[in-house]
Amino acid sequence: MATDPETEQTFEAPVVIDLGKKKRKDIKKLGKGSGKLMDRVAHCIEELKTGGKISPSAQPIIVVVKERKKKRVGLLSL
């Protein structure tokens, strides 16, 4: 079975960025492609490209974010 270099696909390892625990509002903005978390992701990708860690045409990105629990203030939250 011969492989044609034009039809052969090359897969790069995905880029995984762990942003830690963030507020729900910030996570929603990230999902829409805006906000300070999106700026942070763009900055990380740009650093990786300029450092030569990933190719300039890299596409796969995985962002890991956990929603931070709200602090409850009141009589019953002791």
| % of the chain beyond a pLDDT of 70 | 74
- Domain for residue 16, yes or no? no
- The model's pTM is 0.64
Nearest to 24 by CA among 78, 68, 77, 76: 68
Mean of all residue pLDDT scores within the chain:
77
- Domain for residue 32, yes or no? yes
Render pLDDT for 9-62 as a digit per residue (tens, 0 to 9).
Answer: 556 677 788 888 888 898 889 888 899 989 998 888 888 888 888 887 776 677
Render pLDDT for 47-77 as a digit per residue (tens, 0 to 9).
Answer: 888 888 888 777 667 777 887 777 777 666 5
- Domain for residue 38, yes or no? yes
Contact 77, 33 (CB under 8 A): no
- The count of domains in the chain is 1
Contact 20, 13 (CB under 8 A): no
- Domain for residue 28, yes or no? yes
Sign of CA dihedral 45, 51, 52, 57: positive
- Domain for residue 13, yes or no? no
Domain that holds residue 62: 22-67
